[in-house]
Chain A
Amino acid sequence: MQNTSLQFKKQVTIKLADARLQDALSRLQSRFVGGRSAVIGEIDDLQATRTAAAAIRDRVLNDLEHWLLHFEQQATTRGAIVHWAETGEDVNRIVAGIAAQHGVKTAAKSKSMVSEECGLNDALELAGIKVMETDLGEYILQLAHEAPSHIVAPVVHKNKEEIADLFAEKHHKPRKTDIAELCREAREVLRPAFLGADMGISGGNFLVAETGSVLIVTNEGNGRLVTTLPRVHVAITGIEKVVPTLEDVTTLLRLLPRSATGQSITNYVSVLTGNKNAEDHDGPEHFHIILLDNGRSGLIGGEMQEMLRCIRCGACMNHCPVYQNIGGHAYGWVYPGPMGSILTPLLGGLEKSPDLPNASTFCGACSAVCPVKIPLPDLLRKLREQQMERGMKSRRETFLLKAWAWLALHPGTYALATRIGVRILSMMGGKDKLLHTLPGASGWTDGRDFPAPSGRTFREMYRRGAKP
């Protein structure tokens, strides 16, 4: 997928003014934030479980080479074919090759964010393969030619009226607005696609090294269909998704659906190991697993390695005041919200996404809810530091920060400057004690007023023993 995060600020302005999007985002907030808080307490010792989950992910990341090799060996023993891909283009080439090898004309696909990284659908269409997205949200986006705006709820930016219009136009059927009827219509359109597909394409939430299995969590059942009916199954996932044992993955499963959608467990958890044997009635004859690097290996052993713990639950974006106001598309690539603001620069280049590390208030809600305890604000701060060190900040910002640093190191001058500053701002505040414009900071005051200071600094009041 094309990275357009250079356009972040322009996108934000558009998204903030989009009333329909704002309405959709408030719904997401109440359903997902409320849903998580309703069930996360079901875990008897939540903090111990989060700590254990982080340790499980760290165990693998600290020795990723050997865990991957063990996974590969187990998967191969069971009849799966493991492929390695350095880039998204490599994934596309490998999938097209598998399709050619098995005479595949049509593919049914369940949701995979890694395949979005690769732009797989477009590449397969170019290779003459018809690809059908089958997750309801992804199917709607495929019809609308749009990108997902959330990693769990991809079509959160659209309301049912827009979807009703889209279905009526594309399905050539009477327009329906009842959500259950829209779901049934999609089911009826997609069922033949499942039954007729030569190839099923899925992601992989986890890879279990112990058994060589790919684990996927789904609610709709499309994940089960695309991995059961077609004669070829291709699972695509990142190299960091390995988990040592079935017990380890179970600990992570207690956290993932609760953090993502407020479910104690997803409807389906499928643990897929090898291809079908001679006696089986169902299951793919050929099972291919593609492991994508795409920049992940560069994070191992470095100060950003903790980001690879991520299990893609989306809780950080659901709880992020920035995401809640601008939605996912503004971030410009596959992964939005706090995790995306870190992953996009790390995988795609900091110079291509200079605004993303700064798209955070550092309120800390993201790290407070993260099931694998990723210190997201710390990682964002490290990216900001890298921007400073590499001279990527504007001359104005660099000058202001240097001036601030000098002032902070000279307490006498600092006290004098603030005494003058608060008096001027206090006088500017006028009767309503609000500043409607600030010279040089109109970008800030365009959206809100600045409360005028009282006219005395904290130090002055403290010295006089006054209550602030």
Chain B
Amino acid sequence: MNAREKILGKLRNAQTKATPGAPTTSLASHLAHHPRGPLPALADDLLARFKECAIKLSSDVLETNDRTAVPALLARYLDERKLPASGVCWPSLAGLPWHEAGLQVMPRPATNQDMVGVTGAFCAIAETGTLMMLSGAATPATTSLLPETHVAVLDPARIVATMEDAWDLLRNEYQQPPRAVNFISGPSRTADIEQTVTLGAHGPYRVLLILAPA
């Protein structure tokens, strides 16, 4: 008998002893209905809530009504912080006027040398100020991970109230989750030394969210 059968056998015996005829039909019905637990009561203005929470998590937030103005906003942000004016972006953002804004942004996955990574986001969650990213050929996970500055261009219409809403959005638009769903809530951090919070651990030092309608 292998380990799998031994462990499952032990569980089966213990379960039968504790609750003879334990219901297993509830498993299928629970999966089919995937009920929600207690939810937070959020105010109607999801955008305001998202911005407030994102800033609390040390993300920087900029807004524009004109998507083509995103490169100029980013150029100024990088310049103010004396950061390099070059990086990589997701292919879907390759059409923005990066060059005109004085930036060198290449549409390819990030390597260790890239200092700025520009991504979109699948959606964002107002409850906690969080980005939801799906991995994929056109949405490489490294772009939000390896560079010291992560920039996410986000359509405000894609802000949902809770993570539960985000799961429903995922179920509506895809058959199944991709290899990696990453929820990002601000720059990477550690408090391992003397419980003192330090921004910039192994991931980005800063996260800039640019809210711009698609």
Residues of A within 8 A of B (CB): 24, 27-28, 31-32, 42-45, 48-49, 52-53, 56, 59, 62-70, 78, 84-86, 90, 134-137, 140, 153-156, 159-160, 163, 179-180, 182-184, 187, 190-191, 194-195, 209-211, 213, 219-222, 224-225, 227-229, 239, 244-248, 250-251, 253-254, 261, 264-277, 279-283, 291, 293, 297-298, 300-302
Contacts and interface: CB of A to CB of B under 8 A. Distances in A.
B86 interface: no
B109 A271 contact: no
Contacts of B163: 250, 253
9 contacts: A65-B15, A70-B27, A153-B195, A220-B188, A221-B201, A224-B145, A264-B53, A267-B188, A280-B179
Nearest to B195: A31
B18 A300 contact: yes
B15 A63 contact: yes
Given A52-B38, A85-B3, A281-B140, A163 B15 contact: no
Nearest to B39: A44
Contact of B30 (A28, A59, A251): A59
B37 A267 contact: no
Interface string B184-214: 1111111111111010111110000000000
Contacts of B130: 265
B192 A63 contact: no
Contacts of A228: 141-142, 145, 180
Contacts of A219: 188-191, 201
A160 B141 contact: no
A43 B41 CA distance: 9
B12 interface: yes
B193 A84 contact: no
Given A137-B192, A247-B36, A250-B37, 12 more contacts: A28-B195, A43-B40, A62-B15, A63-B15, A220-B189, A244-B30, A246-B167, A267-B185, A282-B142, A293-B7, A293-B10, A301-B18
A32 B178 contact: no
Given A244-B30, A265-B130, A267-B185, A86 B7 contact: yes
Given A31-B191, A194-B202, A245-B31, A239 B141 contact: no
Interface of B: 2-4, 6-8, 10-12, 14-15, 17-19, 22-24, 26-27, 30-31, 34-41, 53, 57, 109, 112, 128, 130, 135-137, 140-142, 145, 162-164, 167, 176-196, 198, 200-204
A156 B195 contact: yes
B66 to A, nearest CB: 30
